Amino acid sequence: MKKIRLGQIGIGHNHGEAKMYAARKFPDLFEIVGYAEENPRWVEKRGDLFNYRDLPRMSVAEILAKCDAILVESDVWDLTRYAKLCVDAGKHIHMDKPASGTLEEYKDVLDTAKAKGLTVQLGYMYRYNPAITDCFERIRRGELGELYAINTEMSTFHPPAYKKWLTNFGGGIMYILGSHLVDLAVYLLGEPKSVTSYLKKTGLDGIEFEDNTLAVLEYDKALARIFVSSVEVNGFGRRQFVVSGSRGTVNICPLERPLTMTVAHADTCDKPYENICENVPFVDDTYYGRYDDMMRDFHAYICGVKENPFTYEHDYLVQKVLSDIVGGIRIHSCEID
């Protein structure tokens, strides 16, 4: 089995250390070369985290020269810029989300990677959620019939410091967390015919940004509703993904800790005013093992033993729909503690 020389550019993304932790679990797959971070603030704040402290810190140029593949884990506003450096240098990338830059700049990254046969894996974690993948398999087998609705929520009761950081992004919480849900909806239903969004600012904690948001994606026969809030008490406990079809409904709520899923089938739900569903048990390792399968697949994609179901075209479409929802990609680069 080919061992991939892996490095990381940026340690400023909130999921960055967890990705490195996951990659380091598989020494038979990855040789960890080191990391690069050009912002001294992040070196001071995170350079001594457990999964970085024994790794050599290198320049970006050194990482590009010494690695086969790179985890791009910078501040969100720098993700596309660093990704472009990587693919121009012929490196496979795992790129955290959501993408930054203009749509044209992001498309250039994807087009360059495709032309060079390079793997691009986006860090949308729910692609690897066990219940989500089970739901996708049921849909592929035709168990749910014709899909007509997706209802999904990803809310949190965020502290003021995180809310201040979210003021960097046009669309606020919809841009950062809603992107996960756009990814899933577009994967199942494709490009919507139209997009309607409601981006509201509650002003709670005296912080003005889009913290109470809703998007509706319209299709010929289907609707996808995406609700994301930064101010919902126990929002994490109500995160959900519900897919409804002519033959059944999958309801995943909460999405994590504890991972809980029910399935209802049309041929057994003969009483319309009763809750008749099947509980589907899972081993919930979505916290400590959340990125393990993602890193294993990253290696498999690079080695050509597995095909990435999330194509370059899909990844671009996710960013395009997200741009339509938030009224264009607008990102500042103001570091806020």
Average of per-residue pLDDT across 219-248: 98
* The two three-digit tokens of residue 195, written as one number: 């997009």
Residues 98 and 155 in one domain: no
Average pLDDT over residues 144-154: 98
Positive or negative torsion for Cα 94, 96, 98, 102:
negative
Q: What is the pLDDT of residue 68?
A: 98
Residue type, 161: A
Kindly state whether residues 134 and 269 are assigned to the same domain: yes
Q: Do 115 and 152 reside in the same domain of the chain?
A: no
Give the CATH number for residue 239: 3.30.360.10
Q: b/e string for 213-230 if b means 16 or more Cβ within 10 A?
A: bbbbbebeebbbbbbbbb
Residues 59 and 138 in one domain: no
Q: What are the residues whose beta carbons fall under 8 Å from the beta carbon of 178, sequence distance 6 or more?
A: 154, 171, 213, 215, 226, 228, 322, 325
Domain that includes residue 150, residue range: 130-280
Question: Any idea what the CATH number is for the domain that residue 113 is in?
Answer: 3.40.50.720
- 260 and 183 within one domain: yes
pLDDT exceeds 90 at position 320: yes
118 is a domain residue: yes
**Which residue is it, tokens 């490196």?**
91
CA distances from 325 to 1, 95, 213 (A): 43, 22, 10
Number of H helices, E strands in the chain: 11, 14
Domain assignment of residue 61, yes or no: yes
Residue 337 has pLDDT above 90, yes or no: no
Among 168-177, 242-251, 324-333, the least confident range: 324-333
| 289 part of a folded domain | no
Q: How confident is the model at residue 39 (pLDDT cuts 50, 70, 90)?
A: very high
Residue 89 lies in a domain: yes
Indicate if 108 and 166 belong to the same structural domain. Answer: no
Nearest CA among 83, 82, 151, 159 for reference residue 121: 83
Q: Are residues 192 and 246 in the same domain?
A: yes
Residues 186 and 237 in one domain: yes
Across 263-277, average pLDDT: 89
Q: What pLDDT sits at residue 95? A: 98
Mean pLDDT on 143-148: 98
Does 82 have pLDDT greater than 70? yes
Per-residue DSSP letter, 37: -
pLDDT class of 257 with cuts at 50, 70, 90:
confident
Which pLDDT value is given to residue 274? 87
User: Is the confidence at residue 285, as pLDDT, over 80?
Assistant: no
> What pLDDT is attached to residue 289?
80
Query: What confidence tier does 273 reach under pLDDT thresholds 50, 70, 90?
Result: confident
Choice between 155 and 272, residue whose per-residue pLDDT is larger: 155
Same domain assignment for residues 120 and 186: no
Share of the chain above pLDDT 90, in %: 90
Tokens of 275: 């809750």
Spatial distance between the Cα atoms of 72 and 90, rounded to a whole number of angstroms: 14
Q: What is the reported pLDDT for 272?
A: 85
- Are 118 and 246 part of one and the same domain? no
Share of the chain above pLDDT 70, in %: 97
Tell me what the pLDDT averaged over the chain comes to.
95
Domain assignment present for residue 332? The answer is no
Q: Has residue 331 been placed in a domain?
A: no
Report the alpha-carbon distance of residue 73 to residue 24 in Å, rounded.
15
Tell me which residue of 178, 117, 146, 140 sits closest to 301, measured CA to CA: 117
Rg (CA), the chain: 20
Other Cβ atoms within 10 Å of 30 Cβ, number: 23
Give the amino acid at 5: R
Classify the C-alpha dihedral 276-236-224-286 as positive or negative: negative
158 and 116 within one domain = no
The mean per-residue pLDDT over the stretch 68-73 comes to 98
Write the CB contacts of 145 (distance below 8 Å, at least 6 apart in sequence): 245, 246, 247, 248, 266
- What does DSSP assign to residue 197? E
At residue 270, the pLDDT reads: 81
What total of structural domains would you count in the chain? 2
Residues 201-219: tens digit of each pLDDT: 999 999 999 999 999 999 9
Residue 285: inside a domain: no
| pLDDT value, residue 5 | 98
Q: Tell me, what's the pLDDT at 286? A: 59
CA distances from 266 to 43, 141, 171, 269 (A): 55, 15, 38, 5
- Beta-strand pair 120-122/92-95: parallel
Average pLDDT of 56-74? 98
Pick the closest to residue 77 from 337, 301, 333, 334 (CA basis). 333
Residues 103 and 170 in one domain: no
Whether 334 is covered by a domain: the verdict is no
Q: Structure pTM?
A: 0.95
Inform me whether the pLDDT recorded for 335 exceeds 80. Answer: no
* Residue 288: pLDDT over 70: no
